[in-house]
């Protein structure tokens, strides 16, 4: 059993044009090609069947509203509808446009109270905002008020239309100091500032780290820059590491296979695969 903290279904509502992410297709072309080559006549049926076959406890889907910056939107209503249609296995996080100010806060509250979404997704690089930008704090405070967790993009990004510095974990430290009750998962896991992110997580007990959009085998690959995640993730931070495949960036089965090959004790592996995510999600 496992929780996949990052997945995007192969359906039209989740696949709008996103020209600002063109460079991602270059960077991830190897693993994304494996997904394409394994395609079936009905991709959505195959997607659902994969998680059924692998006995996924939960799969987290994330909305995004980049209207003010890149004109892209994965609507909260579509994420909520997918979760309703396909059962309790699927959990949705809301995405709102922080440039809309109070309207964004109201939209997030509506997504939680009326649509049944279970958290907030903040992709700062796509909003062209650092993690601690003042525009984001009303949303963070609303998360605390509603008891909702937030996923925050942390680390570099591969879009050449926005700065990589928007994901620096030093800004996350400032958020956690201001709002220690806020439940945050930083994903992806901070590269090339992995050690800085680990320091922030060690300082703040309400910060988890999602190993999302990175091949799990890199955590055990010398000189990759990801090795400290394995060292600290099996010791002082073993209760705060969360697995995610980032499908379709990587096939789910391959991500799990590489993860299961990591040198972790069985109990720690189960925490990374499932238990830590359940705690973060409030389940």
Per-residue pLDDT of the chain (283 residues; tens, 9 = 90+): 999 999 999 986 666 667 887 877 787 777 767 766 566 778 899 999 999 999 999 999 999 999 999 999 999 999 999 999 999 999 999 999 999 999 999 999 999 999 999 999 999 999 999 999 999 999 999 999 999 999 999 999 888 889 989 999 999 999 999 999 999 999 999 999 999 999 999 999 999 999 999 999 999 999 999 999 999 999 999 999 999 999 998 999 999 999 999 999 999 999 999 999 999 999 9
CATH classification of 2-281, choosing from 3.30.200.20, 3.30.70.1230, 3.20.20.100, 3.20.20.140? 3.20.20.140
The predicted pLDDT at position 14 comes to 65
Tokens of 47: 């997607």
- State which H helix or E strand residue 61 sits in: strand 56-62
Tokens of 205: 């007990």
Output phi, psi for 259, to 5 deg.
-65, -45
Q: How long is the chain?
A: 283
Q: Rounded distance, CA 210 to CA 107, Å?
A: 26
Q: Rounded distance, CA 52 to CA 274, Å?
A: 15
The predicted pLDDT at position 252 comes to 96
Radius of gyration of the chain (CA): 17
- Name 123's Cβ contacts closer than 8 Å, sequence gap at least 6: 64, 66, 95, 153
* Beta carbons of 245 and 260 less than 8 angstroms apart: no
- Name 217's Cβ contacts closer than 8 Å, sequence gap at least 6: 258, 261, 262
- DSSP letter, residue 40: -
The predicted pLDDT at position 249 comes to 87
For the packed helices 137-146 and 169-178, what is the interaxial angle rounded to 10 degrees? 50
Q: Which of 176, 154, 164, 76 is nearest to 128 (CA)?
A: 164
* DSSP code string of 31-98: HHHHHHHT--SSHHHHHHHHHHHTTEEEEEEE-EEETTTT-EEE-HHHHHHHHHHH-TTEEEEB---G
């Amino acid at each position: 059993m496992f929780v996949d903290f990052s997945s995007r279904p192969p359906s039209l509502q989740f696949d709008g044009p996103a020209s600002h992410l063109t460079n991602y297709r270059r960077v991830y072309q190897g693993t994304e090609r494996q997904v394409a080559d394994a395609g079936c006549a009905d991709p959505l049926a195959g997607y659902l069947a994969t998680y059924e076959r692998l006995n996924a406890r939960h799969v987290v889907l994330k909305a995004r509203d980049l209207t003010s910056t890149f004109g892209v939107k994965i609507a909260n209503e579509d994420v909520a509808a997918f979760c309703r249609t396909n059962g309790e296995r699927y959990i949705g996080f809301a995405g709102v446009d922080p440039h809309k100010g109070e309207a964004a806060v109201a939209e997030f509250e509506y997504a939680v109270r009326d649509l049944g979404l279970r958290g907030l997704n903040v992709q700062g690089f796509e909003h062209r905002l650092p993690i601690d930008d003042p525009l984001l704090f009303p949303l963070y405070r609303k998360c605390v008020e509603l008891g909702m967790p937030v996923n925050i993009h942390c680390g570099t990004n591969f879009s050449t239309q926005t700065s990589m510095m928007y994901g620096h974990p030093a800004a996350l430290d400032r958020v956690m100091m201001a709002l220690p009750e806020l439940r945050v998962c930083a994903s992806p896991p901070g590269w090339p500032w992995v050690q800085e992110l680990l320091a922030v997580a060690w300082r703040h007990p309400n910060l988890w780290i999602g190993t999302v959009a990175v091949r799990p085998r890199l955590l055990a690959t010398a000189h990759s820059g990801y090795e400290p995640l394995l060292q600290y993730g099996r010791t002082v931070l073993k209760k705060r590491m969360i697995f995610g495949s980032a499908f379709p960036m990587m096939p789910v089965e391959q991500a799990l296979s590489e993860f299961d090959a990591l040198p972790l004790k069985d109990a720690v592996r189960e925490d990374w695969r499932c238990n830590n995510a359940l705690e973060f999600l409030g389940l």
